[in-house]
Amino acid sequence: MKIAETGVRRESGYLYYLDKQGDVSRVVMARGGGRHARTRPEKVARAGVKREDGFLYFIDKSGDVCRTKMARRGGGGTRKARRAPGRRTTRKTSARAKKTTRRGATARRRAARTTRRRG
């Protein structure tokens, strides 16, 4: 969705973005190896866009300010998560099971190797 028509002409090697004041700014891209001199961003066009939460603002190919709804993880959330039928919520663990979970990964591997040799 187009918010403001600025018609900014893009030059290669620059990153164009909407700054905190709602105007279009650009900064030199850091590409390749080595250190680059830190350059200050320069304002390219005044747009005066007021941002809203939940939207992503960008400069499109024609140089105008656009926005799109942000994609959020999880998708939906209206349906309840279903649990498999017949499964208990709490499990009782034996003393032996607790002991094996407390042991480290290397100790478990070592124990597995010795049992394989015996039997």
Q: Average pLDDT for residues 15-33, to the nearest whole number?
A: 87
For residue 22, pLDDT beyond 60: yes
- Torsion angle, CA of 49/50/54/57, rounded to 10 degrees? 10
Give per-residue pLDDT as tens, 32-66: 667 777 788 899 998 888 999 999 999 988 889 99
According to the model, what pLDDT value does residue 33 have? Answer: 67
Distance CA 88, CA 90 (A): 6
Looking at the DSSP bridge assignments, the partners of residue 2 are 66
pLDDT at 83 over 90: no
On average, the pLDDT of the chain sits at 79
pLDDT over 90 at 107, yes or no: no
Q: Strand, coil or helix: what is 116?
A: helix
Residues 79-90 as b/e (b if ≥16 CB within 10 A, e otherwise) read: eeeeeeeeeeee
Contact yes or no for 70/26 (Cβ under 8 A): no
Give the pLDDT of residue 69.
Answer: 93
Residues 39 and 20: their CA atoms lie apart, in Å, by 18
Mean pLDDT of 6-35: 86
Compute the residue count for the chain: 119
Tell me the mean pLDDT in the region 82-98.
65
Residues 14-31 have a mean pLDDT of: 89
Q: Which token pair is 31?
A: 């590409």
All structural domains of the chain with their residue ranges: 2-69
